[in-house]
């Protein structure tokens, strides 16, 4: 029973993070940890360069109000708590290509300027 629980834990862990997703235990690429700070009206850094298949662990923190972090074209869309209220970690394994991320929580007059990109090379 406990092994079944462990297996389910692993599966749900991967599902809770991002798409494309990967269950723990399968062959993995390298891990890259990226810290992004959000504030009105920019992400810093706003450009992430990585290699396809790398497990990106994106730690997101807001320096003011509650922002959102959405990777366009994927199901990654989380709310960033306000300043001092915590860090949200998103795990994302990109395929080769370019992904746009953006603030998905209306945060003020310049909300639509809050965008960035993930560039995953071969």
Partner 1 sequence: MLPSSTVENYLKAIYLGAMSLTPPQRLVPMGHLSSALGVVPGTATTMVKALAESGLVEYEPYVGVALTPAGEKLAALVLRRHRLVELFLVRVMGYGWDEVHEEAEQLEHVVSERLIDRMDEMLGRPEVDPHGDPIPTADGHIKRQEAQSLMTCPIGTPVTVMRVVDQDRSFLRFLEKHQLKPGAAIEVEDRDPAADSVRVRGSDDQRITIGTRAASKLLVQVAHTALVLMLLVLPALAQDGPAPAPRSPQKVLSGYMDFHYNKPEFADGALDFHRFVLLVTHSFSDRIRFVSELEVEHALVEGGEEKGELELEQAYIDFLLSRSFNVRAGMVLMPVGIINERHEPPNYYGVERPFVDTVIVPTTWFETGVGVHGEIGRGWRYRGYITAPLNAAEFSAEEGIREGRQKGSRANAGRVGTTGRLEYVGVRGLTLGTSGWSGPSGFEFRPRFDVPVRLAEADARYSRDRFEAKAEFAQVWIDNADLLNDALARRVGVNPNIGRAMRGYYAEGAYRIVSGARFGDVGAFARYEKFNTQHRMAAGDVPLRQFDRDAWVVGATYWPDPDIAVKMDYSIVSSRSSVIQAPNSFNVGLGWWF
- Contact status, residue 55 vs residue 93, Cβ threshold 8 Å: yes
What is the C-alpha separation between 22 and 14, in angstroms, rounded? 6
Give the residue from 101, 80, 89, 79 showing the smallest Cα distance to 55.
89
What is the C-alpha separation between 110 and 8, in angstroms, rounded? 42
- What is the closest distance, in whole angstroms, from the C-beta atom of residue 25 to partner 1 in the complex? 8
Assess 106 for contact with partner 1 (CB under 8 A): yes
Residue 87 DSSP label: -
Assess 113 for contact with partner 1 (CB under 8 A): yes
- What is the closest distance, in whole angstroms, from the C-beta atom of residue 108 to partner 1 in the complex? 5
- What is the closest distance, in whole angstroms, from the C-beta atom of residue 95 to partner 1 in the complex? 18
Contact residues toward partner 1 (CB under 8 A) are 1-3, 5-6, 9-10, 12-13, 16-17, 24, 31, 33, 37, 39-42, 44-47, 57, 59, 61-66, 68, 70, 72, 77-79, 81-91, 98, 100, 104-113, 115-117
């Amino acid at each position: 029973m406990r092994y079944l629980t462990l297996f389910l834990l692993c599966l749900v862990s991967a599902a809770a993070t991002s798409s494309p997703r990967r269950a723990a235990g399968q062959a993995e690429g390298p891990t890259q940890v990226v810290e992004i700070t959000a504030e009105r009206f920019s992400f810093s850094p706003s450009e992430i360069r990585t290699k396809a298949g790398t497990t990106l662990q994106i730690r997101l923190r807001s320096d003011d109000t509650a922002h959102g972090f959405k990777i366009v074209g994927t199901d990654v869309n989380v709310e960033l708590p306000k300043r001092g209220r915590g860090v949200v970690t998103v795990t994302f394994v990109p395929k080769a290509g370019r992904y746009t991320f953006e603030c998905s929580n209306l945060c003020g007059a310049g909300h639509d300027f809050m965008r960035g990109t993930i560039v995953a090379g071969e």
